[in-house]
Amino acid sequence: MKRRGLVWFKNDLRLHDNEALIRAHQECSNLVFCYCIEQSDYEKSALGFRKKDAVRFKFMHQSVLDLRKNLESLDGHLVIGETSAMDTIPELVEAYEITDIYGEEEYAPYELDLVKAVMDRLPALEFHFFWGKTLYHKDDIPFKIAKIPLTSKAYRIPAGREAEPRQTIDPPSKLNAIKGVKTKRFPSYKLYGFQEKEYQDAKPLVEGGETAALKRLQYYTFKSELLTGYRWSRNKSDGLDYSSKLSPYLALGCISAREIYERVKAYESKIKKNQSTWWLVFELVWRDYFTFKGMRLGTAIFKTKGYKHKEIAWENDATKFERWRSGQTGIPFVDAHMRQLNQMGYMSNRGRVNCASYLTHDLKIDWTWGAAYFESKLIDYDVSSNWMNWHMQTFEIWYTNPVHQSNKYKAQ
């Protein structure tokens, strides 16, 4: 029997450099494509806010619609599940006699549990998962995940010396999609409990989707040549141009880290190779490091005592937490950044460092509350980058004074 495949898009909302997509295309005679929204992700947690807020919903919405448009341009389609992969995938498997499921390999506990639940529900199917998140493939780094070093230098130097990013993969020129697959409109935000005002007020910093991601990469490199000054501008906070703004696209997989790497290498050979081009790749290697270290540490990265089991006397004043969240602490540098986060789902790295330090060291509030709040709002939310950076700010980094920092890094 010929294989009939289902491509399950998750945080890999792109056609380029997508191994699951290309392998499904090569190995199956007919394909169905789907993305599943998890309705429970929009419920409120014990801390009083949603796991994913309106600004994240909107950015995902834009990214999924762009993926659908790009799939349709290759004779494909995209089924959008409204409630859960646990509902949509079994329905599609039955309706279209699917034999094989293809997707990106997951690495974090919650996502792994969901994948496992779907696999348990469909024991007769073949599942094929492909690693696609990081710059270096996890099989190419000189460490087993269980032995990833606990300091970044001990990882970065051997990884940089011994690993090479794999080449990006071109998308298919036409898709062998099953004909007549029924697709519905993108579901309304109302289904996830959002009110019209909160939805309208949410304004993601950048437009979602692979098309916008590739455009942003081209702009930041060859079009504006801003990349040449990145090393010296990256600590600023104001505007769009001091840093790449590729993190939201990386988070939903609208762009791959390898695609960025190849563009930086081309820029080095055609425009300029300097400390800035080195530094952008260095940041992608940091991202890799946090991913692999997070995989090693598992659920310990979400715990109040951190993975080193350090006891801190938190005060956890709920009123102060509320002021921090709403950008009303009275410290302008913190408040401006928190308000930007609330509306646009983004904050500069300098802002993140200061807001995290202020919450944990000045207000003495449990860092996991702050990390959960960033998770709710950030359009570039990435499990390991968020929780490992928060962990580092809390347990490993000196206190940063937001007044000194605002003078040092004020918009220039």
Ligand X SMILES: Cc1cc2nc3c(=O)[nH]c(=O)nc-3n(C[C@H](O)[C@H](O)[C@H](O)COP(=O)(O)OP(=O)(O)OC[C@H]3O[C@@H](n4cnc5c(N)ncnc54)[C@H](O)[C@@H]3O)c2cc1C
- H helices of 220-274, in order, are 230-233, 247-251, 257-270
Binds ligand X (CB under 6 A): choice among 353, 359, 363, 379: 353
The pair of three-digit structure tokens given for residue 143, joined into one six-digit string: 């460490």
The region of 31-39, 266-274, 333-341, 351-359 touching ligand X under the rule CB under 6 A is 351-359
Is position 233 an interface residue for ligand X (rule: CB under 6 A)? Answer: no
CA distance 107 to 296: 10
Contact indicator for 80, 187 with CB cutoff of 8 Å:
yes
Smallest separation, CB 55 to ligand X (Å): 13
Minimum CB distance to ligand X smaller for 244 or for 277: 244
Q: How many CB atoms lie within 10 A of CB 179?
A: 7
Question: Contact 237/348 with Cβ under 8 angstroms?
Answer: yes
Quick one: 247 or 340, whose CB is closer to ligand X?
A: 247
User: What's the farthest any 2 CA atoms get from each other in the chain?
Assistant: 68
Counting contacts by CB under 6 A, is residue 286 touching ligand X? yes
CB of 100 to ligand X, least distance (A): 31
Tell me the closest approach of the beta carbon of residue 321 to ligand X, in angstroms: 16
**Residue among 130 and 374 whose Cβ is closer to ligand X:** 374
Q: State the minimum distance, in angstroms, from the CB of residue 231 to ligand X.
A: 10
Closer to ligand X by Cβ: residue 83 or 233 = 233
Of residues 93, 58, 100, the one with CA closest to residue 79: 93
Q: Determine the Cα–Cα distance for residues 383 and 371; give it in Å rounded to an integer.
A: 10
Residue 250 interacts with ligand X (CB under 6 A): yes or no: yes
Is residue 291 part of the contact set for ligand X (CB under 6 A)? no
Q: Please list, in sequence order, all residues whose beta carbon lies within 8 angstroms of the beta carbon of residue 151, skipping any fewer than 6 positions away.
A: none
Counting residues that bind ligand X (by CB under 6 A) gives: 29
Alpha-carbon distance of 21 to 8, in angstroms, equals: 9
Nearest-approach distance from CB 169 to ligand X, in angstroms: 20
- Contact flag: residue 284 with ligand X (CB under 6 A): yes
Dihedral class, residue 95 (left if φ above 0, else alpha if ψ from -120 to 50, else beta): alpha
Q: Quick check: 99 binds ligand X (CB under 6 A)? A: no
- Measured from the CB atom, is 6 or 284 closer to ligand X? 284
Window contacting ligand X (CB under 6 A); options: 60-68, 168-176, 241-249, 293-301: 241-249
Spatial CA neighbour of 132 closest among 295, 11, 263: 11
Q: Give dist(CA 49, CA 174) in Å, integer.
A: 43
Token duo for residue 72: 């349709």
Indicate whether 356 belongs to the interface with ligand X (CB under 6 A). yes
| Nearest residue (CB) to ligand X, 62 versus 88 | 62
Strand partners, 8: 34, 103
- By CB under 6 A, name the one of 18, 247, 342, 368 that touches ligand X: 247
Which residue in the set 50, 68, 77, 287 belongs to the binding site for ligand X (CB under 6 A)?
Answer: 287
- DSSP symbol at 284: H
Q: Among 51-59, 72-80, 139-147, 237-245, which window interacts with ligand X (CB under 6 A)? A: 237-245
Q: Establish if 352 lies at the interface with ligand X (CB under 6 A).
A: yes
Of the pair 76, 165, the CB lying nearest ligand X is at 165
Nearer to ligand X, 74 or 300 (CB): 300
Site for ligand X in 372-401 (CB under 6 A): 374, 378, 380-382, 385-386, 389-390, 393
Rounded alpha-carbon distances, angstroms, from residue 165 to 103, 154, 221, 227, 272: 20, 19, 19, 20, 21
From the centroid of its chain, how far is CA 263? 20
Residue 343 C-beta: closest distance to ligand X, Å: 17
Binders in 253-282 for ligand X, by CB under 6 A = 280
Task: Report the nearest approach of ligand X to the CB of residue 355 (Å).
Answer: 7
252's tokens: 């939903």
Q: How many other CB atoms are there within 10 angstroms of residue 314's CB atom?
A: 15
Residue 339 to residue 331: CA distance in whole angstroms: 12
Give contact residues for ligand X (rule: CB under 6 A): 234, 243-247, 250-251, 280, 283-284, 286-287, 290, 348-349, 352-353, 356, 374, 378, 380-382, 385-386, 389-390, 393
